[in-house]
Amino acid sequence: MIFLSSFSAAAGSIPWDLAEYDEAVIYFGQVKKVYYSSNQAVIKPLKIIKGDVPVNGSLIIEDIGLTPVIPGNTYIFTGFRDSTQTYIFYPDSYDTETLKLAERGSFWEDVQKRINSGRYKETDDMRIDRINEALINGDSVRLSEAFGITAEEPQDIKAEDTSIAFGDFYKLCEKIEAYPVDIGSNINNSLIRTSVKLENGNSIDITSDGKIQVCSPKTRSIYVVSTEDRDTLLSSLYDEKLPFIYAGYVTAAVCAVLALTLVTLIAIKLTTKKKEKK
């Protein structure tokens, strides 16, 4: 009884731990492949709620638990970077403010409340801002200055996922303060959310952890912005194309209908042949 009560207390702290510990990761991920014999799955992260998760790569989940996950479906995966334990939840949408989680485990309701309230994102933004503040090496500049653009010289802007008018882009960059970091620093390429190319030859990479890399033909600079400004910038440039959450079920249903149709056609054909023989 003492052991069970201790386990329940530890499990009950998980929703709080996910919010307060920097090592926590929470993200929407689509299951690409499942290895049931080894209890592993290959996951493509789609949308980050908390943590430094590589959105343009794939992750291997070492322990998917007792309930099998379905390839093609999207779930919310949670855990801690140094642990193989993964907690999986079934969301009904990507809208973190209104989504509902299907019950899985004793603490699903507490996790849902913290997702809906924005607590996980809030603590992650605090983490990122704290880390980036320690990297600052110089006075702030307007983002437009960092990018090398002026109102007098409009330029073509080519973003990966969407297009934006130069005037709107420039006004946005004039409002955002960017802080230079030591040139010896590097960005994590797996955290790049979108890239932009300007007519002046500069290319810009914007990461989920609030860093911006500006590369010209001759120089490279790295800046940090607040997580609030990061969100504003990404929302204007990055169009998330997210798959249907229950794609796996849809695929299974379609396959089932096709299989049933095929079986029916074969049965009708065989019946017709028997009648013709008679």
Within-domain flag for 242: no
Distance, CA of 110 to CA of 12 (rounded, Å): 9
Within-domain flag for 131: no
**Residues 6 and 121 both lie in one domain:** yes
pLDDT value at position 3? 29
Question: What angle do helix axes 166-175 and 227-237 make, rounded to 10 degrees?
Answer: 180
Task: Write out the two tokens for 118.
Answer: 């924005």
pLDDT value at position 263? 55
pLDDT at 243 over 70: yes
Which among 191, 198, 238 is positioned nearest to 212, based on CA atoms? Answer: 191
Q: What percent of the chain has pLDDT over 90?
A: 60
- At 275, the amino acid letter reads K
Strands (DSSP E) contained in the chain are: 24-35, 40-50, 59-61, 74-80, 86-91, 101-102, 141-142, 157-159, 177-180, 192-198, 203-207, 211-215, 220-224
Task: Write out the two tokens for 135.
Answer: 């990297």
How big is the CA angle at 142 (ends 141 and 147), to the nearest 5 degrees? Answer: 100
Give the residue from 103, 126, 149 where a domain finishes: 126
Cβ atoms < 10 Å from Cβ of 86: 20
pLDDT value at position 272? 64
Name, of 42-56, 98-112, 158-172, 177-191, the range with top average pLDDT: 42-56
CB 19 within 8 Å of CB 80: no
CB 169 within 8 Å of CB 187: no
pLDDT at 67 over 50: yes
pLDDT value at position 273? 60
Within-domain flag for 220: yes
pLDDT tens-digit map of 204-213: 999 999 999 9
> In the structure, what pLDDT confidence band is assigned to residue 274 with cuts at 50, 70 and 90?
low
pLDDT tens-digit map of 98-130: 999 987 667 899 999 999 999 999 999 999 999
Higher pLDDT, 268 or 155: 155
Give the residue from 92, 126, 160 where a domain finishes: 126
Measured distance between the N- and C-terminal CA atoms of the chain, rounded to whole angstroms: 73
- Structural domain total, the chain: 3
**Residues 12 and 119 both lie in one domain:** yes
Mean pLDDT of 37-53: 93
**Residues 38 and 69 both lie in one domain:** yes
Concatenated DSSP letters of 98-154: T--EE--STTHHHHHHHHHHTHHHHHHHHHHHHHHHTTB-S--EEHHHHHT--TTS-
pLDDT tens-digit map of 26-38: 999 999 999 988 8
**Residues 231 and 271 both lie in one domain:** no
Distance, CA of 18 to CA of 190 (rounded, Å): 22
pLDDT at 1 over 60: no
pLDDT value at position 104? 66
pLDDT value at position 109? 93
Q: Check: pTM over 0.85? Answer yes or no.
A: no
Which among 78, 82, 76, 40 is positioned nearest to 61, based on CA atoms? Answer: 40
Phi and psi torsions of 156, nearest 5°? -75, 140
pLDDT value at position 11? 53
**Residues 10 and 62 both lie in one domain:** yes
Range of 251's domain?
247-278
Return left, alpha or beta for 39; rule: phi > 0 is left, psi -120 to 50 is alpha, else beta.
left
pLDDT value at position 161? 65
Which among 170, 177, 175, 183 is positioned nearest to 214, based on CA atoms? Answer: 183
**Residues 158 and 91 both lie in one domain:** no
**Residues 158 and 223 both lie in one domain:** yes
pLDDT value at position 183? 67
pLDDT at 143 over 80: yes
pLDDT value at position 44? 95
